[in-house]
Chain A
Amino acid sequence: MSKYTPKSSELKKEFEEKPTILKGDYLDKEWWDIPVEFRDGNWCFPAKPEVVENLGFPNPRKWTATDSDWKLPVGWEKTISEGLKSRLKKYRSLKLFLDSCVRCGACADKCHFFLGTGDPKNMPVVRAELLRSVYRHDFPLVEKILTGFSGSRKLSAEIIKEWHMYFNQCTECRRCSVFCPFGIDTAEITMLARELLNLIGVNNNWILEPVSNCNRTGNHLGIEPHTFVQNIESLAEDIEDLTGVKVEPTFNRKGAEVLFITPSGDVFGDPGVYTMMGYLLLFHHIGLDYTISTYASEGGNFGMFTSNDMMKKLNAKMYHEAKRLGVKWILGGECGHMWRVVHQYMDTMNGPADFLEMPVSPITGTRFTNAASTKMVHIAEFTADLIYHKKLKLDPKRNDHLRTTFHDSCNIARGMGMFDEPRYVLQQVCNTFHEMPDNTIREQTFCCGSGSGLNTEEYMEIRMRGGLPRANAVKHVKEKHQVNSLVTICAIDRASLPTLMNYWVPGVSVYGLHELVGNALVMQGEKKRTEDLRENPMAGFTKGDDDEE
């Protein structure tokens, strides 16, 4: 365990003994009087100067959050204040959300970071107040007469530090927005606040480096085309070893019917690669005419955690490549924020995609009218439709060694509204499924604690704290129903939840939905299966046993 991870026994002790407002203890000061303290485990490394330069972003320099002087550029106050003003003109949402909060407190205990830290500034209402208080200072009429009446503050370097800390303790998960009577969305506020911080070079390397990579190589991990191909081909070899079936994905192939785009974590990261194997098996099973691009080789979009323009710039590759290859429509893999971008931003930013056709499943003939304009279909929708029309040969018993529960990813849940398709697929490919408690699933789902570009090693303490509510709900079903598998449809979840499970709920493994689909698929010409895609033995499929049905 790294130096950035506190012992779980220490955290447990803190939760039991330390007084917090979450437990009903009163705070002896106002939130704005609480100093900001950076220590190991609660800040992300700032972007390397060369990364910032490469992106053409302002103020590249060497600095760390624990420095007292952050070397902000000359005139940074003006940059922030004008940046805020121009965004207020561009976004009705920002203006409304800053103006209309009544501080009713409904959101206060809905944030996973608040639940895991007890820190008053992690209540969504206060997170917004961090910005709102500075915004109010621009309208000082009442404030001049009555100091402190509406809690306004003059912008200072200390406030920038506070913003950096707390707008990076928000994963833009939108859970608070579900409970807010006015629908105030802290994700929107955090997105724009991070945009402002980037204007003065207050940034996060784990976000900006992937952005820079993605711009250059096409994907966050910075994988160059030949390596990208090699990796998927080695996954195809693994599939052949395991099943005896040779899958043959194509790359950058013009004239394919479908362009398949998934987060690069599925190509390189464990356990994402098993999900990738699942996709490859599925596409082979149904004989889909598809291709994978090495240029648009990233489904995710860390631009979203940087600035609006960067989101658009990285996303533009999808349509650009679809047009170049002449495909009919795009199929997207399992990812959370990727789908927030694809569902709510892509068509507006980079559309209209009039060079593509209405997505139609070549196997079932289903017209995906819900994607009529974007022309991009989610793999869970696609697979659910296949299963519903009985086009897949499945043996759910092959997942009998897995007792599953499903983690709704924030963006898929609250930024897209897809709940039932993945559940349907999951229940068709495995026999044991138990839901976590009501207040922790579907639109009330809890974030993994590492979303929005915070999935970095040096941030481990905050991640483990933020992930506590999710882990707690998993623990509940583990104890009650002996659940041992957490299934999810998000690449960041697949990367971060294993660490979280190890920390809070050892004994639970993390799976992608299509990994389980891959396990269950009965392929034509396959050899006898005894192991799942991870080469773990499947229950009741011992070697030598005859298992013909």
Chain B
Amino acid sequence: MKKVFLPLLMVSVLAFIPYVGVHYAGLGYLFGVVLPYLAMAVLLGGFLFRMVDWLRRPVPFCIPTTCGQEKSLDWIQQDKLESPSSFLYAAARVLTEVLFFRSLFRNTKAKMHKGPTLAYGSSKWLWLGGLGFHWSLLVIVLRHSRFFLVMVPDSLQLLDEADRFFDITLPAFYLTDALVLATVTFLVLRRLRDSKMQVISLPADFFPLFLIIAIIIAGISMRYVTKVDVMPVKALMLNLVNFGFEPPGEIGTLFYVHLFLVCMLAIYFPFSKLMHSGAIFLSPTRNQCNNSRAKRHSNPWNSAIKFRTYSEYEDDYREKMKKAKLPVDKQ
């Protein structure tokens, strides 16, 4: 299983680099200040570039995948979300895709029984796992804002408290930490265990998963095990968000591992499939209205072609047409 070990090895090597770099070579400034700036620049610049690169390409045709009844006769009920005819509903279609993974919710699993008989069972695990994973990641990222902001707004404070609802460990245990670990494990396991997933998975699919797992483990260890002092961490982060170049204070090496892996993820992001986060908003089969007969969609490069005109046709068939008593334009 080279495609599993290669990315595993890559992530292990990556995790080791800051350990050596900071612990032995004393490169705290490089790993704590220079690299984060670089990574942020690559992430933002790269993301923007990819989006612009997509957006500047034309959408020649109106090709929504219609998953519901189109708008037609007054007495036929339109499925406004799955076959939208106005911008608002098309936007809602995309947003429900982004926020709730609506298409994945439809997922089924096909089974071949004797007969042969095919059966399609409901299969919501991927939807549930994917949704749990993405939402946990979002909450975790938002929670991290307490490191970047001097004053944490009430809404984020509330989110943090809600996440600590199960107050069973010290420091208080975050629900999303458990959820993200469980779901990411599920996402890895299904790639290994499902016979179809095994075929379609590439090293590039395992790498970001492993990288995220490593980031989570480093993060959780810092909080619950080695208990890294957060004050210098917050000082460093506040310095960074204020575009300062102060060297970092005394921080545990594990923090550098965590930060370095996050930087690697950020750098990897725009070059990889992780760009699906931006692409989902642009997908022409989802974000277009199904109104192509009511309203003309124009194609900027509509190619000029020469077709066989009626008069050319009639020239070829005139005698036959006259015999068949068909009207002709020229006698």
- Residues of chain B within 8 A of A369, CB atoms compared: 294
Which of B27-35, B153-161, B305-313 lies at the interface?
Answer: B305-313
Check A178–B292 contact: CB distance below 8 A.
no
Q: How far is the CA of A218 from the CA of B317 in the complex (A)?
A: 11
Chain A nearest Cβ from B18, distance in angstroms: 20
Task: In the complex, identify which listed stretch (B113-121, B163-171, B238-246) lies at the interface while the others stay far away.
Answer: B113-121
State in angstroms the CA–CA spacing of A395 and B63 once bound together: 39
Interface-facing stretch out of A59-67, A416-424, A448-456, A508-516: A416-424
Binary A-proximity of B277-296 (CB < 8 A = 1, otherwise 0)? 00110111110001111111
Query: Are B196 and A149 neighbours in the complex by a CB distance under 8 Å?
Result: no
Give the interface segment out of B36-44, B173-181, B322-330. Answer: B322-330
| A344 in contact with B61 (CB, 8 Å) | yes
Whether A182 contacts B303 by the Cβ 8 Å rule is no
CB distance from A365 to the nearest CB of B (A): 12
Question: Which residues from chain A contact B291 at a C-beta distance below 8 Å?
Answer: 370
Question: Given the known A-B contacts A104-B126, A348-B61, A348-B296, are A123 and B76 also in contact in the complex, defined by CB atoms under 8 Å?
Answer: no
Q: Mark A1-39, 1 if CB is under 8 A from B, else 0.
A: 000000000011001100011111111001100000000
Q: Out of B73, B104, B205, B282, which one reaches A181, CB within 8 Å?
A: B104
Contact partner, B200, options A105, A254, A418, A468, Cβ 8 Å: A105
Known: A216-B308, A344-B62. A372 touches B57 (CB 8 A): no
Q: Which residues of A have CB within 8 Å of B75?
A: 388
Query: Is B54 positioned at the interface, with any CB of A under 8 Å from its CB?
Result: yes
Q: Which residues of A contact B201 (CB under 8 A)?
A: 103
B307 pairs with A313, CB closer than 8 A: yes
Say whether A179 faces chain B, with CB atoms less than 8 Å apart: yes
Is A81 among interface residues, defined by CB-CB distance under 8 A? no
Decide if A100 touches B276 in the complex (CB within 8 Å).
yes
* Complex CA–CA separation, A23 to B112 (angstroms): 7
| Distance in Å: Cβ of A426 to nearest Cβ of chain B | 14
Interface stretch of the complex, out of B64-72, B136-144, B222-230, B255-263: B64-72
Q: Contact string, A123-153, partner B, CB cutoff 8 A, digits 1/0?
A: 1011001000000000001100010111100
Closest to B77 in A: A420
CB–CB B117/A174 < 8 A? no
Determine if A230 is an interface residue (Cβ-Cβ < 8 Å). Answer: yes
CB of B316 to closest CB in A, whole Å:
8
Q: Is the CB of B109 within 8 A of A21?
A: no
Q: Quick check: B313 and A218 within 8 Å, CB to CB?
A: yes
| Selected contact of A96 from candidates B54, B111, B292, B294, CB within 8 Å | B54
Contacts of A444 in B (CB 8 A): 106
Residues B65 and A182 in contact, CB atoms below 8 Å apart: no
Residues of A300-356 contacting chain B, CB below 8 A: 308-309, 312-314, 316-317, 320-321, 324, 342-345, 347-349, 351-352
Contacts of B108 in A (CB 8 A): 109-110, 179, 439
- Interface size class on chain B is 35 or more
Of A183-191, A492-500, A517-525, the stretch lying at the interface with chain B is A183-191
Q: Which of B66, B114, B130, B195 contacts A417 (CB 8 A)?
A: B66
**Across the interface, which residues of B come within 8 angstroms of A420, CB to CB?**
69, 76-77
User: Min CB distance, A341 to chain B, in Å?
Assistant: 10
> Does B152 sit within 8 A of A, measured CB to CB?
no
Q: Does A472 contact B (CB under 8 A)?
A: yes
Separation in Å of the B42 CB from the closest CB of chain A? 14
B11 CB, min distance to chain A CBs, angstroms:
13
Interface pair B107/A179, CB less than 8 Å apart = yes
B112 touches A22 (CB 8 A): yes
**Contact call A178/B310, Cβ cutoff below 8 A:** no
Of B69, B275, B296, the most chain A CB neighbours within 10 A belong to: B296
Min CB gap B302→A, angstroms: 7
The reply to whether B72 and A421 contact each other, CB–CB distance below 8 Å, is yes
Q: B residues within 8 A CB of A146?
A: 6, 10, 203
Q: Is A427 an interface residue (CB 8 A)?
A: no
Which A residues lie within 8 Å of B296 (CB)?
347-348, 351-352, 373-374
Interface contact A252-B200, CB-CB below 8 Å:
no
Partner-contacting stretch, out of A86-94, A154-162, A260-268: A86-94
Q: Assuming the A-B contacts A96-B54, A420-B69, are A26 and B198 also in contact, with contact meaning beta carbons closer than 8 angstroms in the complex? A: yes
Name the B residues within 8 Å of A105 (CB-CB).
Answer: 126, 190, 194, 196-197, 200
**Chain B residue contacts of A342, Cβ below 8 A:** 293
Q: Is the Cβ of B126 less than 8 Å from the Cβ of A385?
A: no
A109 CA / B83 CA spacing, docked (Å): 24
| A295 interfacial contact with B, CB 8 Å | yes
Q: Are A225 and B321 in contact (CB-based, < 8 A)?
A: yes
| A418, B308: Cβ atoms closer than 8 Å | no
Point out the residues of chain A lying under 8 angstroms from B316, CB to CB. 216
Q: How far is the CA of A90 from the CA of B66 in the complex (A)?
A: 23
- In the complex where A90-B60, A343-B293 touch, is A253 in contact with B66 (Cβ < 8 A)? no
| A374 adjacent to B293 (CB under 8 Å) | yes
Chain A: CB-nearest residue to B93:
A183
Instruction: Known A99-B275, A373-B294; judge A226-B324 contact (CB<8 A).
Output: yes
A337→B285 CA distance, assembly (Å): 17
Least CB distance from A496 to B in Å reads 19
- Asked whether, in the complex, the Cβ of A343 is within 8 Å of the Cβ of B292, the reply is yes
Residues of chain A contacted by B67 (CB below 8 angstroms): 178, 414, 417, 443
A51 at the interface (CB under 8 A from B): no
Cβ distance B139 to chain A, nearest Cβ, rounded Å: 20
- Chain B nearest Cβ from A495, distance in angstroms: 24
Which residue, A96, A188, A348, A385, has most C-beta atoms of chain B within 10 A? A96
B99 → A minimal CB distance (Å): 12
Pairwise interchain contact B65-A183, C-beta atoms closer than 8 A: yes
Q: Mark A163-187, 1 if CB is under 8 A from B, else 0.
A: 0000000000010011111111100
The answer to whether A345 touches B61 (Cβ under 8 A) is yes
A12, chain B: closest CB distance, angstroms: 6
Among B106, B116, B271, B302, the one with the most A-chain Cβ atoms within 10 Å of its Cβ is B116
* Given A26-B195, A376-B293; A416-B66 close (CB under 8 Å): yes
**Given contacts A181-B97, A181-B101, A182-B279, is CB(A92)–CB(B54) below 8 Å?**
yes
Contacting pair B293 A92 (CB below 8 A): no
| Residues A226 and B321 in contact in the complex (CB < 8 Å), given A99-B279, A177-B285, A388-B75 | yes
| Least Cβ–Cβ distance between A344 and chain B, in angstroms | 5
Chain A residues engaging chain B, CB cutoff 8 angstroms: 11-12, 15-16, 20-27, 30-31, 88-93, 95-96, 99-106, 108-110, 115, 120, 123, 125-126, 129, 141-142, 146, 148-151, 174, 177-185, 188, 215-216, 218, 224-226, 229-230, 251-254, 294-295, 308-309, 312-314, 316-317, 320-321, 324, 342-345, 347-349, 351-352, 366, 368-374, 376, 381, 384-385, 388, 413-421, 424, 437, 439-440, 443-444, 468-469, 472, 475
Given contact pairs A342-B293, A372-B294, enumerate 8 new A-B contacts (beta carbons under 8 Å): A115-B112, A120-B199, A129-B200, A229-B324, A253-B327, A313-B305, A370-B294, A468-B118
Contact sample, A vs B, 23 pairs, CB 8 Å cutoff:
A21-B196, A24-B194, A91-B60, A99-B273, A100-B280, A100-B283, A105-B200, A106-B103, A115-B110, A149-B6, A149-B207, A181-B104, A182-B279, A182-B283, A183-B286, A184-B285, A314-B307, A347-B297, A348-B62, A370-B70, A414-B67, A415-B65, A468-B116
Task: For the complex of A and B, list the 6 residue pairs with the smallest distance between their C-beta atoms, beginning with the closest.
Answer: A417-B66, A417-B70, A100-B279, A226-B324, A183-B285, A439-B120
